[in-house]
Amino acid sequence: MARYAYVNGRYVDHRTASVHIEDRGYQLADGVYEVVGVREGRLIDEQPHIDRLDRSLRELRIAWPVSRATLGFVIRELMRRNRLTDGLVYIQVTRGVARRDHAFPTKPVKPALVLTTKNAKRAEAEPGPGVAVKSHPDIRWERCDIKTVALLPNVLAKQAARESGAYEAWLVDGQGRVTEGASTNAWIVTQDNELVTRQSDNGILAGITRGTLKSLAKDLQLKIVERPFTLAEAKQAKEAFVTSATSFVLPVVKIDGETVGDGNVGPTARRLREEYVRFASAGEQVT
Cβ proximity to ligand PMP: between 93 and 97 the closer is: 93
Listed ranges 19-27, 90-98, 183-191, 195-203: which one lies at the site for ligand PMP (CB under 6 A)? 183-191
Q: Is 150 in the site for ligand PMP (CB under 6 A)?
A: no
For residue 6, give every residue at least 6 positions away whose Cβ sits within 8 Å of its Cβ, in sequence order, or none.
12, 74, 77, 78, 113, 114, 115, 116
Taking each helix axis from N to C terminus, what angle separates 46-60 and 68-81, rounded to the nearest 10 degrees?
Answer: 130
Q: Is 148 in the site for ligand PMP (CB under 6 A)?
A: no
User: Pairing relation of β-strands 168-172 and 258-259?
Assistant: unpaired
Sort 192 into a burial class: Cβ within 10 Å, 0-12 / 13-18 / 19+.
exposed
Q: Is 213 in the site for ligand PMP (CB under 6 A)?
A: no
- Residue 20: what are its φ and ψ, rounded to 5°? -70, 150
Candidate residues 56, 116, 135, 185; the one interacting with ligand PMP per rule CB under 6 A: 185
Q: Is 210 in the site for ligand PMP (CB under 6 A)?
A: yes
**Plot region of 87 (φ>0 → left; ψ -120 to 50 → alpha; else → beta):** left
Listed ranges 97-105, 128-136, 177-185, 221-229: which one lies at the site for ligand PMP (CB under 6 A)? 177-185
Shortest distance (Å) from residue 112 CB to ligand PMP = 20
> Site map for ligand PMP, 18-47, x if CB under 6 A?
-----------------x------------
The residues in 54-93 that bind ligand PMP, with binding defined as CB under 6 A, are none
Q: Is 209 in the site for ligand PMP (CB under 6 A)?
A: yes
Listed ranges 87-95, 128-136, 178-186, 264-272: which one lies at the site for ligand PMP (CB under 6 A)? 178-186
Question: Which stretch of DSSP H or E encloses residue 239?
Answer: strand 239-244
Listed ranges 17-25, 100-108, 240-248, 278-286: which one lies at the site for ligand PMP (CB under 6 A)? 240-248
Rg (CA), the chain: 19
Number of residues lying near ligand PMP (CB under 6 A): 14
Q: How many helices (H) and strands (E) would you count in the chain?
A: 7, 16
What distance in Å separates the CA atoms of residue 186 and residue 247, rounded to the nearest whole number? 12
Is residue 186 a contact partner of residue 161, using CB atoms and an 8 Å limit?
Answer: no
User: Pairing relation of β-strands 10-13 and 31-39?
Assistant: unpaired
Is residue 241 a contact partner of residue 249, using CB atoms and an 8 Å limit?
Answer: yes
Candidate residues 244, 276, 280, 286; the one interacting with ligand PMP per rule CB under 6 A: 244
Just list the catalytic residues: 147
Cβ proximity to ligand PMP: between 188 and 208 the closer is: 208
Q: Which residues bind ligand PMP (CB under 6 A)?
A: 35, 154, 180, 183-185, 205, 207-210, 243-245
